[in-house]
Amino acid sequence: MTVALIRPLVVRTVAVSDPDDLLARLPDAAPYAWIRHGEGLVGWGEAARAAVPPGPGRFDWARGWLSSLFAGARIEDEVGMPGSGPVAFGSFTFDADAAGTVLVVPRVVLARRNGRAWLTTIGDGAFDLVTPPSAPGRIRYGDGSLSAPQWEHRVARAVRRIRDGMLDKVVLARDLTAVAERDIDPRVLLERLAERYPECYTFSVDGLVGATPELLVRHTGQAVESLVLAGTTPRGAHPADDAARGAALFASQKDRHEHACAVASVREALAPLCSALDVPDRPELLVLPNVQHLASRVTGRLSDGASVLDVVAAMHPTAAVGGTPTGAALRVIRELEGMDRAGYSGPVGWIDSRGDGEWGIALRCAYVSGRRARLFAGCGIMAGSDPASELAEAQAKLRVMRYALEG
């Protein structure tokens, strides 16, 4: 079902003075956000919304809906930068056959980038009252779809599948439930995440809130960029321990192979779309407050001016969130994971009327509704994986959203 609140869209973008703190400008109602190092976009209200039908053609449907919507809009844009003019925020489910993919064009978008700031309004661009965010209070946690021992057992079964030659890698996710003392204000989570994890992309789309370290694609004109993460270790207890863990991760045959699989899947997806593609020979170490990752930044130039959604469609699901080979990994996920991921590990981000945008993989995130939240984490399972170690890695990743809830 598709709902358009204002049709045709009447859009106006004007330059404004630097808002300094984008998140502080968000009202209480259903915030939209995409922030890194204080730059990005925040939005509120709804000028248009689409519930994207599930199925293999969902990205084509989404692009067609947006093209029609934006083509009929009356746009006055005095800024002319990626993210100015009308912008849609979106969240795609991990599984193409699952319902829940959504695109929303906010009534108001406030943005800052590269020393410039702008405000986009659609229609009357209603400015809701900004009230101070309030903390959710005490948090109680419970098992999600599987208990920790049950999940370890599923990991062991996945390892056996890999050792039997059915596949090279599979990513298994687990969830955790949380119930707060009071309603959870997404703005509190966004502020905490943006402050503690400035290197990540802090996002909020239709109740899905998180801070992902993984940039699926940045599309500016014909330039594309992707940050591939695969291979993880927790941070150390002190600097020497931290350095030793990083060195062990870099030297780990298991983690290097997992990372190579992820990079290969991105190369294979981007190569047909690009006239030039630069893929690093070896990964770097990305150090975050809770974990360290093996990371590779892939850059390229599109050969045909494809929309960012075309690139997202070609890349999802990457080996970093699904596995290799993709078909076999998805079958094992459906057999063993025991839950619906919804938007977790699916593409999340924004797109403007020029086809530019930034999309990440929805990691380190939770679905928030009232007093309840559903937290997610996932681990890449290889032939040498140990279930207890994978559980510890998942728990380290869950600490991101636990911190966001607890402060």
Question: Active-site positions?
Answer: 169, 214
Q: Give the list of residues 6+ apart from residue 20 with CB closer than 8 angstroms, or none.
A: none
Main-chain phi, psi angles of 275, to 5 degrees:
-85, -20
Which 8-state DSSP code applies to residue 8? S
- 319: phi then psi, degrees, rounded to nearest 5: -65, -25
Contact 302, 222 (CB under 8 A): yes
- Amino acid (1-letter code) at residue 39: E
Backbone angles phi, psi at 141, to 5 degrees: -110, 150
Largest CA distance in the chain: 61
Tell me the β-bridge partners of 51.
102
Distant-in-sequence, close-in-space partners of 124: CB < 8 Å, separation ≥ 6? 107
Which of the 8 DSSP states describes residue 350? Answer: E
DSSP letters spanning 83-110: T-SSEEEEE--SSTTSS--EEEE-SEEE
> Which tokens sit at 78?
């005095």
404, 219, 208: which is closest to 300 by C-alpha?
Answer: 219
Instruction: Tell me the one-letter amino acid at 69.
Output: L
Structure tokens at 393: 């890695």
